[in-house]
Structure 1
Amino acid sequence: MQTPAPDLSQLKDIHLPSPVTDLPIAFGWWLLLTVFILLTIAGIIYGLKRHEKNKTKKAALLLLSQQYEQLKKHKDTQVFLQQSNEVLKRYCLDKYPEAASLSGDAWTSFLNRQSKKTYFEADVGKAISQGLYQPQCEYDTQTLFSACVSWIKNNKESSND
């Protein structure tokens, strides 16, 4: 025997659950959002510092290159020695304020301590430490230029980031 089908009019409506709201979100999502925001801020700060450091380095290298081109035109090695030393000193003052009062052998020792390799020894070191105070100084301008460029690119402060 078959049981009679219930009358459709006797069926009740389906009760839907209450709608899900966007807030409040679970604690884990708040934590994830906080970590994301903090990492974004840290990345922006790191990027700005790195950009500023690279800007200083690029400016020093550009100035050094311009001075080397001037040397090729005018052949004044004493002026190039003074200008190269000035670029190094200005770059160092930005990165190492304690270098402000250094001169002579203390200056070249400082430069060599702040790099992975000693760029300022022999003729170049003597020119930087003593040649500034002499009317004429004999040194290899290409070696001095290369030493200055290499030091700016490879000093210890440059490798910290």
Structure 2
Amino acid sequence: MNPNPLDQLKDIHLPTEVSWWPIAPGWWLLALLVLLVLFTLWKLWRKSRQASQRYQQIVTAVDELEADSQLDEKEWLAALSALLRRLAINLDGRQQSAGLVGKEWLAYLDKQGNTQAFTQGVGQVLASSPYQASVDYNRKELLTLVRRWLKVQSRRGPTHA
């Protein structure tokens, strides 16, 4: 008599449950990628916020300068030009914009502001006023030009390293 071959089989043992730890290398890479994306977004947000604050500081300074009635015309124009130069140095670096004077400075302002009003319009007074005894210009028109230039600059970030 032959014994039943099925009786000779041993019970099935279930394998141990698969643990979630240690995780697979793909999950490590995904976590690293997510951290990298979050860090990049944070840096971009911070850079944008700093640019916005810098722009707002210059606009506030222009507003204060507009309201300042104690400065004579030459001092007022020099202060306005200094504010523009400060922002230009901040955006493009000292080597590109700090040494510009006269028509070169006006051409720089035109180029960065996508306008010709500095070299051919009311903005000329920024370069010529230090050398004239009396200055004749339209302050309101100049402030409008400067505010328009500032608005264009608010959309761009620093280009120097």
TM-score scaled by structure 2?
0.79
Match of residue 122 from structure 2: 124
Match of residue 81 from structure 1: 77
Match of residue 87 from structure 2: 91
Separation of aligned partners in 2, 1:90 and 1:143: 21
Match of residue 25 from structure 1: 23
Match of residue 62 from structure 2: 64
List alignment gaps of at least 5 residues for structure 1: 1-12
1:33 Cα deviation after fit: 0.9
Residues 138, 123 of structure 1: CA spacing in aligned structure 2 closer, same or farther, 3 A cutoff? farther
Residue 159 of structure 1 aligns to a residue whose secondary structure is coil
1:16 Cα deviation after fit: 5.1
Residue 98 of structure 2 aligns to a residue whose secondary structure is helix
List alignment gaps of at least 5 residues for structure 2: 1-10
Residue 51 of structure 2 aligns to a residue whose secondary structure is helix
- Say yes or no: does 1:107 pair with 2:105: yes
Instruction: Say whether the 8 Å CA contact 1:119–1:151 is kept in structure 2.
Output: no
1:153 Cα deviation after fit: 1.6
Q: Percent identity between the aligned chains? A: 24
Separation of aligned partners in 2, 1:116 and 1:122: 13
1:24 Cα deviation after fit: 1.8
Deviation per CA, 1:67-97, whole angstroms, max 9, x where unpaired?
Answer: 0011xx4483322211110100111111122
Match of residue 37 from structure 2: 39
Separation of aligned partners in 2, 1:114 and 1:86: 16
What is the total number of aligned residue pairs between the two structures? 147
Opposite residue 75 of structure 2, the aligned amino acid is V
- The correspondence for 1:158, drawn from 142, 155, 160, is 155
Deviation per CA, 1:34-83, whole angstroms, max 9, x where unpaired?
Answer: 1101101111111111111122111111000110011xx44833222111
